[in-house]
Amino acid sequence: MNKKTDKIIREYEVNDNQKLTLPLLSIHQLEIVTDEGAEQFVKEMIHDEGTLGFPLFSMYKKYGIMFQAIDATSAHVLLVINDELSLETLAMFNHIYNRIGFNLIFDKMTVFRPRYTNETSAENPEQKPSQGKEVDKSSSEGLFQETKSKQLKLDVVGMEVA
What average pLDDT values come out for the chain (162 residues) when binned by 10 residues? 48 92 95 94 93 91 93 96 94 96 95 75 48 48 51 44 49
Domain boundaries, given as residue ranges, for the chain: 13-114
Global pTM exceeds 0.85? no
Closest-CA residue to 65 (of 121, 132, 152): 132
**Predicted pLDDT at 127:** 47
101, 84 contact by CB (below 8 A): no
CA dihedral 46, 47, 53, 54 (to 10 degrees): -20
77, 86 contact by CB (below 8 A): no
**Predicted pLDDT at 61:** 87
Question: Which positions ≥6 away from 59 have C-beta within 8 Å?
Answer: 65, 66, 67
Distance of CA 156 to the CA centre of its chain: 23
End-to-end CA, the chain: 62
